[in-house]
């Protein structure tokens, strides 16, 4: 079996294992979704009741909710590995470190995609934004954004999983790095919702793609060092 095929098999096996564990017991997706709903409600309370203002702020609120929930969700996927020191066992299998990262990032992407789509729907409802009209562009943005959050989040969750102060270190490390993704995703969302009057949607999506690529490569290349000891 070629190296790439074996790596892919390992990654899929890890992602499946995470998905299985999450669906079974940990309810990470469900509790994170409730969290994002609460966040959106609080946004509404603090910025409302002017509907126009909320609608204008909606793209930013959308991605803030996604990013904050992402910190929680991706962190939980690594928390799985604290079961009886499972991470230590995982690190000692004769599999490439890239494959382990890819597997966990894949699981993270799945979770983020679900969260992103549902938060998008919630924002559409809560802030009276017509998301259906711009659905294709918004979908692409959500997918690309989910990749970025998963790539970065998986990496930093690996960084912090064995630390004492992991609950606060994960957002502290992750969020500044996500700033350009946030910027690009919000601008892309604004452009998409307005029908892309200035033709900037493509440029912003390219920015997100570049971000995703850099972070995926960096994460895959360095994750092995995190499993070292």
Partner 1 sequence: MRTRILGIVALVAVVAATYTALFVVPADLNQGDAQRIFYIHPAAAWVSYLSFGVTAAAGIGWLIKRDLRFDAVALAGAEIGVVFTAFTIWAGMMWARPVWGVFWQWEDPRLATTALLLALYAGYLLFRRLTDDPERRATRAAVVGIVAVLDIPIIHFSVEWWRGLHQTPTIGSPDRIMDPAAPGIFVATLLGMMAAFTLTWLYLIVRRYQLARAELAREERVRLARIASARSAFERAQPTQPAQPGQPTEAAR
Partner 2 sequence: MPQTTIYVSPRSLGAPDTRPPAVETDDLARLFAGVPALAGVSLRIDGGRTVALLGPNGAGKTTLLRLVATAIKPSYGRARVDGLDVVRDVEAVRERVAYLSHATGLYDDLTARENLRFAATMLGTPDAHERVERALADVGLGERANDRVGGFSAGMRKRLALGRILLGAPSLVLLDEPYAALDAEGMGVVDALLAAWHGAGVAVVVAAHATDRLEPFLDGRVMLERGLVMAVEGEGVAASPPAPPASQPAPAAKPAPAAQPAHAEVRR
Q: Which residues of the chain form contacts with partner 2 (CB under 8 A)?
A: 3, 6-7, 9-10, 13, 17, 20-21, 24-26, 80, 83-86, 88-90, 92-99, 221, 224-225, 228-229
**What is the rounded distance in angstroms from the CA atom of residue 154 to the CA atom of residue 223?**
9
- Which residue's CB is nearer to partner 1, number 86 or number 163? 163
Q: Is 84 in the site for partner 1 (CB under 8 A)?
A: no
Question: How far, CA to CA in Å, does 136 sit from each of 32, 105, 140?
Answer: 25, 24, 6
Q: Which window, 60-68, 106-114, 118-126, 156-164, contacts partner 1 (CB under 8 A)?
A: 156-164
- Which residue's CB is nearer to partner 2, number 99 or number 129? 99
How many C-beta atoms lie closer than 10 Å to residue 187's C-beta? 21
**What is the rounded distance in angstroms from the CA atom of residue 73 to the CA atom of residue 225?**
23
**What is the rounded distance in angstroms from the CA atom of residue 145 to the CA atom of residue 187?**
12
Question: How far, CA to CA in Å, does 216 sit from each of 61, 88, 164?
Answer: 25, 23, 26
- Which residue's CB is nearer to partner 2, number 86 or number 214? 86
How many C-beta atoms lie closer than 10 Å to residue 52's C-beta? 8
Binding residue for partner 1 (CB under 8 A) from 15, 111, 146, 159? Answer: 159
Q: Is 163 in the site for partner 1 (CB under 8 A)?
A: yes
Half-sphere exposure for 138 (CA within 13 Å, toward CB) = 24
Binding residue for partner 1 (CB under 8 A) from 39, 65, 149, 226? Answer: 226
Q: Is 91 in the site for partner 1 (CB under 8 A)?
A: no
Give the DSSP letter of residue 129. Answer: -
- Which residue's CB is nearer to partner 2, number 8 or number 209? 8
Question: How far, CA to CA in Å, does 16 sit from each of 68, 99, 166?
Answer: 24, 13, 25
- Which residue's CB is nearer to partner 1, number 108 or number 219? 219
Site of interaction with partner 1 (CB under 8 A): 155, 159, 163-165, 169, 172-173, 175-177, 179-180, 183-184, 187, 198, 200, 203, 207, 210-211, 214-215, 218-219, 222, 225-226, 228-229
């Amino acid at each position: 079996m070629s190296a790439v095929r074996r790596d892919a098999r390992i990654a899929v096996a890890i992602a499946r294992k995470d998905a299985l564990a999450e669906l079974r017991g940990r309810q990470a997706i469900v509790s994170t979704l409730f969290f994002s709903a609460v966040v959106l409600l609080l946004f509404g309370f603090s910025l409302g009741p002017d509907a126009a203002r909320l609608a204008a702020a909606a793209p930013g609120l959308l991605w803030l909710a996604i990013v904050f929930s992402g910190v929680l969700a991706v962190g939980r996927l690594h928390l799985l590995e604290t079961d009886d020191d499972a991470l230590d066992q995982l690190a000692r299998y004769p599999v490439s470190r890239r494959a382990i990262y890819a597997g966990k990032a894949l699981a993270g992407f799945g979770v983020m995609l679900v969260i992103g789509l549902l938060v998008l729907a919630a924002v559409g409802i809560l802030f009276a934004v017509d998301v259906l009209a711009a659905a294709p562009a918004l979908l692409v943005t959500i997918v690309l954004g989910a990749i970025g959050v998963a790539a970065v989040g998986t990496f930093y969750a690996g960084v912090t999983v064995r630390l004492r102060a992991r609950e606060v270190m994960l957002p502290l490390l992750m969020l500044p790095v996500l700033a350009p993704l946030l910027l690009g995703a919000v601008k892309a969302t604004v452009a998409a919702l307005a029908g892309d009057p200035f033709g900037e949607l493509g440029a912003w999506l390219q920015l997100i793609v570049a971000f995703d690529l850099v972070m995926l490569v960096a994460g895959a290349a360095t994750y092995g060092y995190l499993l070292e000891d």
